[in-house]
Amino acid sequence: MEATSGNTTPRYRELAEKLMADIHSGRLGVGDKLPGEIELTQRFDVSRHTVREALRVLEDLGLIRRQRGVGTVVQARDVGPSYVQAVRQPNELMKYPRESRLHIISQTEVRLNRRLARQLGCATGSHWHRITAVRKLLDKRLPLCLVDIYVLPEFAGVGEVIPTSTLPVYELIAQMFQLDVDRVEMSISAGIVSEDVADTLEADTGTPTLELVRRYWSGGRVFEVSVSQHPGDRFNYSLEFRRGWKSGGGWSWA
């Protein structure tokens, strides 16, 4: 997998920074078209995936605009102030107390039907290894949440390690199978405790819940999706934003 170039910086980040330097210096002016993906892969000796990820970063920053039939056009030269959340590790997107642990209830192989595939953002009919668990504080009886963790079948062995580790599952997979996590997506929605999970969560049916779906990517594919249900009276999620930089309505990393 083309993750780095001899250091800890992902190749797509290196390419994004090179293109940003060309834009900031004026070598690529506002309104200019960027070279196509194939030309960029040849010029910088990187993969097509690396080029696409680098362009995604620049588009998120608001520096470029990609239009079908037109190409990729520079739309801003500099970044301006904004408020951003500094996230140095994916687990900071949803940090659980250090004294909490996952307790596995079951593990099974599943083939995604249409409804579940839509929820996970994966292909209908694809095969996954599902680990169902509850997260509890060491000194508390009630579960913080019920979580279904879907991992690709080749990573099913992570289920044997979860009960004895304090690391997030994505980190365990990365360590066990030498993966680089290069993208994380998270969606948050409201729900209610259904009758089939009420006993497991030790909550009344119909109780409001906070539902989180997190998708972890490596090398252009999703390798883990977790779906967590948190009874509304047992969890609070807060965000802190600090002054950062943006351009054209986009955002930047620290």
CATH architecture designation of domain 11-78: Orthogonal Bundle (1.10)
Task: Answer yes or no: are the C-beta atoms of 135 and 147 closer than 8 Å.
Answer: yes
* pLDDT of amino acid 237: 67
Among 21-30, 81-90, 179-188, the least confident range: 81-90
Dist CA 151 CA 126 (whole Å)? 11
Helix, strand and coil percent figures for the chain, each rounded to 5: 30, 35, 35
Q: What is the mean pLDDT of the chain?
A: 84
Predicted local confidence at residue 82, as pLDDT: 47
Share of the chain above pLDDT 90, in %: 52
Spans of all domains in the chain:
11-78, 90-231
Segment 116-136 shows an average pLDDT of 95
Tokens 């642990």 — which residue?
Answer: 101
Looking at residue 80, its pLDDT comes to 53
Residue type, 81: P
* C-alpha span between 237 and 129 (Å, rounded): 28
Q: Which CATH number fits domain 90-231: 3.40.50.300, 1.10.10.10, 3.40.1410.10, 3.30.420.40?
A: 3.40.1410.10
- Burial of 168 per CB tally in 10 Å (0-12, 13-18, 19+): buried
Would you give the DSSP letter of residue 221? E
Largest Cα separation within the chain, whole Å, is 63
